[in-house]
Every structure is written in structure tokens, then in C-alpha cells.
Amino acid sequence: MKYLIPAMVLAITGQSLAAPSTLRYIKRVAIPGTTCSGDPGQQGVIDAINKWNSDVVTVNNFLEAAPTLSPPALLFQIETALTSAQDEPVELAVLACESDVTDGTAAQNAVNDLAAGFENNVLTPLGNIIANAGDATAVASNLQTINQFRCCNVLPDLDVLWSFTAEDEGVANQVPLSAPRPSTCAAITC
């Protein structure tokens, strides 16, 4: 049920991640009801990238293990993965507030891509896995959707966004600049 919370908040506020993307719109939507109060600064960028990297590692571990898990084990392990995946838009909102993430930059394009597809291609399929844990075909299909979007969009976008914001704040030597890839990406064609 946790995966429904962001969708319910968006439904209640009448906002959608699929709407046209501009930096200001994304900043409002990434954390409903809030706007950027300013540039996150060095520590904000460090904290967001490190937390997001931890989230990516957690989701990667789940995606690598999921195909071999029994339905009860799958449901047990997806809880942690879902919590981490739900945190990713929070970290996106922080990095999207970096003052030099503006229209026309590669970082803004990464923000737009993440905001446009994350809900439908990561969070919703994780919810579908929970709802259909006993259906191996449904689980495999949803894992494929997640892996396709993560390997071809999310992780490359993170490389761009993390590098851009870390270099902009002068902390590139303190954070990962590239998102770790799960072994599942080896089977994905982008």
C-alpha cells in the first residue's frame, strides 16, 4: 500500500508527473505542496547524491534477486526496495533545486526525463509486483518494465545529474558521479 501514497497525494492535489516539464513545475511536483527554497548548497547535494546512491543499490539488489524469489520472499524483500524507490523523487527534488539546473542543460533534461517516467515505469510496476506476487508472468513483465526504464533512463540520467550538480557545487571528489548498475542491465537493450 505504501506505493499508493505518492499517487494519492498527486491525485488529491490534481498534479501529475506526466504534465509538461519545466524546472519550476518539477520542483513543486517532486515533493507535493513544496517549492525550492533555494539552492541546496554543497551539503545538500552531497546528502542527496549519497542517499540516492544508497537507494539505487537497494533497488539493484532487489532486481537482481527478484526473479529467483518465492512469492513470500518476494513480498518480504520488495518492501525495502519500494521504500528506497519512493525516496528517489525526494532526492530528485533536492538536486532539481540546484541553481544551475536550468532549461537547456543536460541536468534539466535528466530531471525532466526522471520526473516524466519514474512513477509509471518504476513505482507502479513495483506495486503491480506486490499485487501479483504469485503470478510469475506478471512479476517477470513488471521486472522487465522496471529494468528497461532504470537501465536506459534512470541510471544514465543519474550519471548526468549527479556529475552536473556535484561539479557545480565543487564536491565531485566527495560523492559518486555514476550510478551503480545492476547485473540485470546486461540483458537490456536501450
Position 34 in a domain: no
Position 54 in a domain: yes
22-76 pLDDT, tens digit each: 333 333 333 334 467 678 889 999 999 999 999 999 999 999 999 999 999 999 9
For the chain, the domain total comes to 1
Domain extent at residue 142 = 39-187
Position 169 in a domain: yes
**pTM of the shown model:** 0.80
* Inter-residue long-range contacts of 177-182, CB under 8 Å, 24+ positions, other chains counted: 179/52, 179/53, 179/56, 179/154, 179/155, 180/53, 180/56, 180/57, 180/60, 181/60, 181/151, 181/155, 182/59, 182/60, 182/61, 182/63, 182/64, 182/147, 182/150, 182/151
Position 10 in a domain: no
Position 157 in a domain: yes
164-175 pLDDT, tens digit each: 999 999 999 999
Position 53 in a domain: yes
pLDDT at residue 35, as a whole number:
67
Position 171 in a domain: yes
Position 12 in a domain: no
